[in-house]
Amino acid sequence: MLRSTRNHKLRNEAEMKSEYWRQDAQSMLAAKLAALDALKANSAKNVIMFLGDGMSIHTVTATRNLLGDSPEKVYFEKFPYTGLSKTYCVNRQVADSACTATAYLGGVKANYGTIGINAQVKRYSCEDHTEHRVDSIAKWAQDAGKSAGFVTSARVTHASPAGVYAHIADRNWENDMEVAAGGCDPEQTLDIARQLVEWPTGQQLKVILGGGRQNFLNSTVRDETGYAGNRQDGRNLIKQWLSDRQSENVTAKYVWSRKGLTELNLEHTDYLLGLFASDHLPYDGDRHRSTKHSAQADPSLTELTEAAIRVLQRNDKGYFLFVEGARIDMAHHSNYAQRSLEDTAEFARAVQQAREMTSEEDTLIVVTSDHSHVMTINGYPHRDESITGVIDYLADDQLPWSILSYANGPGYAGTYKKSEGRVRLTDTDAAYPLYVHPAMVPLNADTHGGDDVAVFASGPFAQHFSGNYEQTNIPAMMARAAGIGPYN
């Protein structure tokens, strides 16, 4: 029998009384009734889609605990409507961020590793795929006269944001060097960065904010912080983007630092390109812990979201905005549970910022994930124990274990020793922000999970997002709410 050896305090003593839970239920009922009144809303002028990459339901639950559990909650959990979406690819039960981007942005299931094309195209194909291209909801918005843009904490050419504008048979073809390494002609198979700058949907995006300068610069050129580019074709796609906007006689700004962003007059900016890192943006927790990647030096996802809305809201016809919290996924891949939860908390703050800057009467906000991860929450921790810590019980091997653990990943190396079995964990180990949480199967990176992910919605026609449905239904419901695209 499991026995606790510690004295534990309640996080919220009010929970001991029945009236606490009855009042909570009354508040919930009042919110549901208010949501019913909103069903008569007009169509959505604006649509904002938030994508927590790899944000499984377990991740949301653990983040809620990290933020203090009751009464603190992850902001978007307050949204009136919640559903579940099915995340598989056409050819894989467990999806990646490429095929899912085609699903939740374009409404079509695709093959693993491909972006913006249907499943008739196999991965790594160099052939012309024009007839099999899948347009995203960003293009549907542009065709309707609305503005469109995206924000990401990854490279702007990474799989999820590429789903907004790109059509390619391999998610790794972010620059011409990678296309050539894949056995294709870079002048015939345009890389993702070139598609962003040269193809119509990318050209018309009013806001592009994220990382990835390396894919826009030649290897002989160094960016503002001294990192060399990856390109081999001599192109400087940043200068090309600025030149194209200049020829259109519009106000276009390129920024590479948080300081540069804060100094912009966004109310007089027509087009905004912000590339704030050579590669991905830093983890949010690292922004505050590290002197190299300080909160003062790097913009947060919340700040980028605010900037994007301020530019896009200048269009009286409305806009579509895609916001990705990408580092949630990357931390999970390394079994960095605390980093992942910290980025989820920042993601939730960005959602809150967007909701507070907009009206529920004319702006639909949808929050979801592309796929899950294999992190789980182990029983039976007390409420006052840190969700990222060690559980206050001993297992059958008379050793404590971590509340959060992974089915696979690099954490295996620190979990087992061949001759001694499982390694003894301590609270001190788990308190380290970069602690690699235990894993059962050794892999250099943890895998995605195949379970359904949650969908949260607020605003016009948010009720459509209830139930359990294919991930491909998400853009259809967003488009119908906004009166755009093939589902109008």
Tell me which of 3.30.70.3040, 3.40.720.10, 3.40.30.10, 3.10.450.50 is the CATH number of domain 45-373+450-487.
Answer: 3.40.720.10
Q: Say if residue 135's pLDDT is above 70.
A: yes
Q: What is the pLDDT of residues 398-449, one digit of tens each?
A: 999 999 999 999 999 999 987 788 999 888 888 888 999 999 999 999 999 9
Lowest mean pLDDT among 228-232, 365-369, 484-488: 484-488
* Res 358: pLDDT: 98
User: Is the model's pLDDT at 120 over the cut of 90?
Assistant: yes
The reported pLDDT for the residue numbered 9 is: 66
pLDDT over 80 (residue 311): yes
What are 159-193's pLDDT values in tens digits? 999 999 999 999 999 999 999 999 999 999 999 99
- Per-residue CA distances from 128 to 133, 136, 159, 163, 194 (Å): 10, 19, 20, 18, 16
97 given a catalytic annotation: yes
- According to the annotation, is 280 in a ligand binding site? no
* Ligand-binding site membership of 371 (annotated): yes
Confidence band of 16 (pLDDT split at 50, 70, 90): low
Helix or strand holding residue 451 (H, E): none
Say what the pLDDT of residue 1 is.
Answer: 43
3-state SS assignment for residue 190? coil
pLDDT at 463 over 50: yes
Q: What Cα–Cα distance (Å) separates residue 349 from each residue in 77, 81, 457? A: 12, 19, 16
Residue 125, pLDDT above cutoff 60: yes
State CA 33 to chain mean position distance: 31
Within 251-293, strands assigned E span 252-255, 271-275
Taking all residues of the chain, what is their mean pLDDT, rounded to a whole number? 93
Provide the pLDDT for residue 30. Answer: 79
Q: Where are the domains of the chain?
A: 45-373+450-487, 377-442
396 annotated as belonging to a binding site for a ligand: no
Task: Give Cα separations from 390 to 234, 355, 430 (angstroms).
Answer: 52, 36, 6
C-alpha–C-alpha distance, residues 319 and 69, integer Å? 35
> Could you tell me the pLDDT band of residue 378, with boundaries at 50, 70 and 90?
very high
Q: What is the pLDDT of residues 67-116, one digit of tens each?
A: 988 556 799 999 999 999 999 999 999 999 999 999 999 999 999 999 99
Q: For 215-245, how does the pLDDT look when each residue is reduced to its tens digit (9 = 90+)?
A: 999 999 999 999 999 999 999 999 999 999 9
> From the candidates 97, 300, 340, 402, which is the catalytic residue?
97
Annotation-wise, does 53 bind a ligand?
yes
Ligand-binding annotation for 247, yes or no, is no
Are residues 78 and 396 in contact, defined by beta-carbon separation less than 8 angstroms? no
pTM beyond cutoff 0.85: yes
Is 167 one of the annotated binding-site residues? no
Does the annotation flag 324 for ligand binding? yes
Q: Tokens 């990646």 sit at which residue? A: 96
> Is residue 39 predicted with pLDDT exceeding 90?
no
Provide DSSP, 102-144.
HHHHHS----TT-BSB-TTSPTT--S--GGGB---HHHHHHHT
